[in-house]
Every structure is written in structure tokens, then in C-alpha cells.
Structure 1
Amino acid sequence: MKAFTLIFALLFSFYSLAGNIIINGTRFIFHENAKEITINMMNSADRPAVAQVWLDNGDEQNSPEMITIPFQITPPVAKIEAKGGQALRIKMLDKEHLPTDRESLWWLNVLDIPPMNTDEINALQLAIKSRFKFIYRPTNLGKPELAIKQLIFKANNKELTIENSTPFYITIIKITENNKKAYLNNEAIMLAPKSTETIRLNKALRSGETLIVSNINDYGSTIASKIIVK
């Protein structure tokens, strides 16, 4: 009987893991003045692994060969020995058509493909995929760490409208009332540059209330800021 293979995709927002493959980051920033960036992968398993790596523009259903991106990944497929490592190089090919007044977002996919175990009947093979934010950042956009303070929060009963006039992608993971622990939001929010989004809250808010808003910075750390509701 043939071994069964199950492709099981996992999306990790804040973990730098793809199965047994460890990635040296949770999100990656490609600055406009960089020629390329390097991403390091480490195989923590006691057996070799094959990693396939590609970028997509948000539609994770597209196969890698159907996606057109302005970057080149070397190598796109790599065998990583047990307890070994592999460096990925991502090079810019063409930035001519990318916006210069805001960030652009792609998703870095890392698929850990374990070797087929032919010695065990009905062996279950897990190929685990993780996706990480990959952001292209033009120069002269300002300081991203100040962007959270530039957001405008407007309350309307149990709805909260967030206006992001900045050129940065901002990921908010937690919203609480000042000095309280209960989350007001049910899920993380990723705000695109120069966009507005309205979310439902677990309780009503009024203008003038103070919120503690926690966002993720470039290094994957959580930063809490005090925000006054308009």
C-alpha cells in the first residue's frame, strides 16, 4: 500500500517556524536602497528537509509558477541537512512600477517538505507551510515607529473606525480600555497604507475614552500605545 501524503498548511502570524525549519525573523523589510536581503533557515530536525520558498501577493491559492513578482529568490528549493542551515537571497529585479509614496506588501511562503518514509506502511507525511509578511519600503517615508500615533480612532457604539493616513502597513493585535485586560477586538487587524477600516468591538465606546493599542513593530515585538478615541 502506498504511503499517504497530506499537505497541511499552517498560517503563523507571529512565529518564525515552518515545521522543523526555523526562520530568522517574523517579518522582513526590503528597503529601497538595498540590492538584496538574506534570510537564514535552520533545520532543527534529525533528518534532512527540503524547503520550497516563494513570494505571493496575497492570494495563497496561486501556485508559485503562476505568480509574477519583482524579486528573485535564490535558491527557490533547497535541501537542508539535519541540524544544518541554508541562506536565502532575495534580490530586487524591477522596482520601476512600485509605489514610492507607501509600502508594498507580499507574503513569503516557506514550505517544509519532509522526505517520504518508504519503510512504514500508511505513513503520514506532513508538508507544513508558513507565511511571513514581506514589505518593500521606499526611502523618505518617515519613521515607522511613529505611525501608530498618527492613526485616528473614531467610536460609534460598538463600531470603531480606524483611519491610517500613514504610508506604512500597521498590524494591531490587541485593543483594550485603559487599565483593563479584556480585549475589545476579536482578531488582529492589518491596516494598509492610506486606508480606513471599521471593526466590531465587544463593547460600546464613547468619544474621549483612552485605549491601549498594541501593534507589531519591524522586529516582531509588541508595542503598546495610549490612544484617545475621537
Structure 2
Amino acid sequence: MKMRIILFVLAMLTCSFPSIANMTISGTRIIFPANENEVDVRTNNKGSQPALVQVWVDEDKLNSNLNNIKVPFILTPPIYRVEPGKGQSVRLIYNGMNLPQNRESVFWFNMLEIPPKVTEHVSQQRLDLAFRTRIKIFYRPSSISNSNSSMLKKNLKWQVVNTPKKGTGVKVTNPTPYYFSFDELTVESQGKKTELNVKMVSPFSSAIFYPIKKTISGEKITGIYYGLINDYGAVINSRLTLLPSGIYSEDAKK
């Protein structure tokens, strides 16, 4: 078994690898207002070679069968070629599928960059990789107003919890109809900071975040630092401090 691993590593070392992904998507997320029939998604080729691209929408399933996916959006064109230094706009069209009207719904825009065909002048030992890029699509019903992260984050409820298996964590409760995406989350206890795993918190739900590498030292978490991603992909940094009443309150100064 060890000999097979060594041979595989040696084979990889003799291969030449192409550069990083050349295709990019304008923006880090897509907001789809319910009062719009479609929105444009701009993709760009930053490389020096033409790129063949395939795009599709799924429900956060990495290995979905494209023939069986049922989503409320159609993409056109689904497959296209982009010349070096050029771009291509993709139309994201709502197909009328019923979605909740009292909260946001989230889907994923996928872009697969297919490597160019190897020519006779390129080494046959080259390993070509297909690059996949994914960003979130937030469908926003007309019944809820435009998101203002700076205001909405004040509605989040923060609580320190202890579980027998995972130890101390931070529970975030989201009473709003919006998704909250965190860029980072760190807690402070006895002057030491500990980074926690973060993920998206769904509307009208809660999530518990635990340390990434180690347990939280100290008996009390006196400060919580977090970065919240807004509609434009910008990170809004905030700090919460523990009040004598036991409630975590946002600092006036960041």
C-alpha cells in the first residue's frame, strides 16, 4: 500500500499543472428580488486562453445529478465559451416555482471552468483540472424589505452554551426572515481569544458554534467578536461585551 502511495506521489511530481482558475464571477453573492423576473450574473475570463464554461443552480449539493435538480431558476446560456480578457453575462431567470414568501430562500450558483483540450505541443503528462466556483443566491420575497445588515444584526440573540460532547460554544438565534452569513467569530475569555467555526444561520432558527482547534479557556466569555457579510459581500465587524446582567451587548465603539 505504501509503495502505491509513493508511486502516485512521484507521478504527480512529474506532471505539469495548469495555473489557477481563470474564470471569475462578479460579486460574492446574488440577491434575487421577487419583483424581478431575472437578474444578470457577469462572468469574466482573466486568463490568456479561451475558456469553456458550464453553469447551473443547485440546493447546496456538491454531487447533484444535473438532470434531477429541481430549482426555481433557469440559466441561459448554460454552456458558453469566453475569449481571453472578455466576459459573458448569464441570465438568471425565475421559473415560477413556489417559494416561501415570509422568509428568504437560498440556492447556489455553480460555474465549472472546463480546461482547454491538450494540443500536440503540450506535454501528455500534464494534469488538467476543472475548476468549480460557487456563490449563494438569495431569493428575497416582496413581503420583506431590503436587508440592512447594520440594523438587522441587532436582532440576533447571543448565548453561551455548554454540551457534554463539544464543551463550550456560542449559540446564535436569528428571529428575522433573513439569512446571516458570518466571516469570522472569535470569543475572549481571561484575556485569551479563541476562534470558532462559523456557518450561515437560517431565518427563524439558531446555530451553535464551537472552537476550531481547542476548547475555550476560562469560566466566562467576556467578549464576542464577529464579522457579518452584507448584500454587497462586505464584512461588517462588531464586538459584544458581557454586561453585569449576563446579557451580551454590542459596543458603541468597534
TM range (shorter): 0.7 to 0.9
Of residues 133, 140, 150 in structure 2, which corresponds to 1:130?
133
- Whether 1:101 aligns to 2:112 is no
Once residues 225 and 190 of structure 1 are traced to their aligned partners in structure 2, the CA distance between those partners, rounded to angstroms, is: 17
**Structure 1 position 35, deviation (Å):** 1.3
Task: Report the equivalent of 2:160.
Answer: 155
Q: Which amino acid aligns with 1:147?
A: L
**Structure 1 position 44, deviation (Å):** 1.1
CA spacing shift, 1:203–1:112, aligned 2, 3 Å: same
- Whether 1:225 aligns to 2:235 is no
**Structure 1 position 83, deviation (Å):** 1.4
Once residues 71 and 194 of structure 1 are traced to their aligned partners in structure 2, the CA distance between those partners, rounded to angstroms, is: 24
- State whether residues 54 and 76 of structure 1, in contact with CA within 8 Å, keep that contact through their aligned partners in structure 2: yes
Which structure exhibits the higher relative contact order, with contacts defined as CA atoms closer than 8 Å and separated by 6 or more residues?
Answer: 1
Task: Report the equivalent of 2:29.
Answer: 27
- State whether residues 184 and 203 of structure 1, in contact with CA within 8 Å, keep that contact through their aligned partners in structure 2: no
- State whether residues 144 and 168 of structure 1, in contact with CA within 8 Å, keep that contact through their aligned partners in structure 2: no
- Whether 1:139 aligns to 2:142 is yes
**Structure 1 position 144, deviation (Å):** 3.6
Percent of residue pairs bearing the same amino acid type: 31
**Structure 1 position 55, deviation (Å):** 0.5
Aligned length: 211
Instruction: Output one character per residue of 1:169-188: Cα deviation in whole Å (capped at 9) or x when no partner.
Output: 1111222347x784431x32
Once residues 204 and 164 of structure 1 are traced to their aligned partners in structure 2, the CA distance between those partners, rounded to angstroms, is: 26
Instruction: Output one character per residue of 1:94-137: Cα deviation in whole Å (capped at 9) or x when no partner.
Output: 14x20011100101110000211132322211110011111101
Q: Which amino acid aligns with 2:116?
A: P
Once residues 183 and 189 of structure 1 are traced to their aligned partners in structure 2, the CA distance between those partners, rounded to angstroms, is: 16
What SS does structure 1 have at the residue aligned with 2:154? helix
Q: Which amino acid aligns with 2:115?
A: P
Q: Which amino acid aligns with 1:101?
A: N
Once residues 178 and 203 of structure 2 are traced to their aligned partners in structure 1, the CA distance between those partners, rounded to angstroms, is: 5
Structure 2, unpaired ranges of 5+? 1-19, 163-167, 248-254
Task: Report the equivalent of 1:197.
Answer: 207
Q: Which amino acid aligns with 1:220?
A: G
Of residues 213, 216, 228 in structure 1, which corresponds to 2:226?
213
Q: Which amino acid aligns with 1:29?
A: I
What SS does structure 1 have at the residue aligned with 2:118? coil
**Structure 1 position 212, deviation (Å):** 2.1
TM-score (norm 2): 0.76
Structure 1 runs (4+) deviating above 6 angstroms are 205-208
Structure 1, unpaired ranges of 5+? 1-17
Greater fraction strand: 1
